Chains A and B, each alone.
Chain A
């Protein structure tokens, strides 16, 4: 008898949904203890729409295909010394920041989604989270494998995961990831899948990977785009979970809105590092941070929230400020790294004349007025040998843990933005209203923060002097400081010189 043909939707349902059951020997609330304390009301998990209907056999097949292609590129990149085709070795500062700051978040997401893959009560949602959990593991592992070759030839890439737990600027991504992981499952997925992946991840991967292509880094382009093919599934999961929560019960709206406001701001602050990568660390940038913000947040985010407005969800709080800051953040972040360049695990460098001309063109209202004079002043000091790195440690924001570098861009762009609040008799400091709001809603959570600067003062980071702290970070002397004159720079010049000789011969 010929078998009946099943359509994709029905087939997928039979291959996921029907396998779970209502437990009777143990209470469902004991089997799934974590999915109700946040106050999200789910009346019918069966209404969950599977974002993508990928069964495991298809998953193995497609992912293996992607992996074979990726590793073929990684192997040939290593065999052919692909690192010599970069536009310039200074570009690698971006990769150093990436593997120390982004790759560990991929691992955190792997663990977080594995938790959800166990603890959501709905079978369909669990499977979707499991797929993401294994994808995130893929991203962590492929990034480590791709960047391994750079680690063999350049400094500053040797201990990314050890450093993630300790270094002052890496507490920015670490606190972001651990904020989500320590929240309940619905908040976690709102943070990672929606606020980070759906609303903001395009800002990280698309222009940055395109930038890697632009700078001859074929290895990074390949893992980046290969990871992005999974990311599209993740983004769709993010949108699905938001719609699902909002459709399930009207009481969910204010909770989701608050999480949206919180995690948008949290993720946006994290991306300030990416803004600096894009505008300053890439030797040649295909697109400025401001342009990327306009396309991927203002335009696409606008369309997204327009679509979600039918549920009553509005744009995240302070999004106008984020758009106004797009003219400033990359310059502010790169300035702080340059002024503390003796304490970074990557090389810093002042923008070249050519780069500054590009920045003037891309930021006509702000670069020449506020930031060019600073870089030119430092350049002059370096020429005269009078440049000194900033002494003393910066004050960090209690929430995002970025030094207090952001300014009142809507009123006075030269005025540092600074907020303070009191809790339990102590004062807490913030870079913005967005961060202060987050603290005030959950002070018990955020007083726990492991702030690197406080920890240094308390003697928990190797010792009281900078060299002791840097040693504790496993920053070798050759990892930090100016790119010009560094070992990386010398090696690059040696190759390029040798290359020249080959061409001449």
Chain B
């Protein structure tokens, strides 16, 4: 338990809409651990995890509103910082 004390996570549905988000998280968070479970995908990382709008837009080739993340979001842990360019989770 002690080595996982600062884990943040983001869980999304396992579907097509979530794929570019998962890809973007993989690209922008080197320490992320991605687990596929029935119906869902759990992405966890030590201390901090970020979803960048630009990276998702590169994945899908169109404009993407960060708030679209809410359509596939299942759960999260960490303090949320959301603006027009990113969605970030962190523990202080």
Contacts and interface: CB of A to CB of B under 8 A. Distances in A.
A and B touch in their complex, CB below 8 angstroms = yes
A225 B37 contact: no
A225 B74 contact: yes
A144 B40 CA distance: 23
A239 to B, nearest CB: 7
Nearest to A212: B39
A307 B75 CA distance: 18
A62 B5 contact: no
Given A8-B84, A303-B6, A206 B71 contact: no
B25 to A, nearest CB: 15
A52 B75 CA distance: 14
A53 B13 CA distance: 22
A36 interface: no
A233 interface: yes
B92 A310 contact: yes
The contact size tier of chain B is 20 to 34
B4 interface: yes
Interface in B39-77: 39-40, 67-68, 70-77
A299 B4 contact: yes
Interface string B1-19: 1001111110101000000
B12 to A, nearest CB: 9
B28 interface: no
Interface of B: 1, 4-9, 11, 13, 37-40, 67-68, 70-80, 82-84, 91-92
Given A302-B4, A302-B5, 20 more contacts: A9-B83, A52-B80, A205-B74, A206-B40, A206-B75, A212-B39, A213-B38, A228-B73, A228-B75, A229-B73, A232-B75, A236-B76, A294-B1, A298-B1, A300-B77, A303-B8, A303-B77, A303-B78, A307-B79, A307-B91
17 contacts: A7-B83, A8-B83, A9-B83, A51-B80, A52-B80, A210-B38, A211-B38, A225-B74, A228-B73, A229-B71, A231-B74, A233-B70, A294-B1, A303-B4, A303-B91, A306-B6, A307-B92
